[in-house]
Amino acid sequence: MTEENNNPREEISLDVYEEHMSLYSVRQLQTMNEIMKNQFEAIR
């Protein structure tokens, strides 16, 4: 980690992040998917 990049979360790969966020116990990706789906349907 460099001095300019002192946030450890920035070093997590996208694959690892998405895997974690889609876990049933977290359900962040599923929640965001449902929110976006509702927004797109509202503007149709």
pLDDT tens per residue, range 2-36: 566 688 888 999 999 999 999 999 999 999 999 99
**Cα 13 from chain centroid (whole Å):** 11
- Compute the distance between CA of residue 43 and CA of residue 39 in angstroms, rounded to an integer: 7
pLDDT for res 9 = 84
Cβ neighbors of 21 (< 8 A, separation 6 or more) are 28, 29
pLDDT at position 14? 92
pTM for the whole structure: 0.58
* Boundaries of every domain in the chain: 12-43
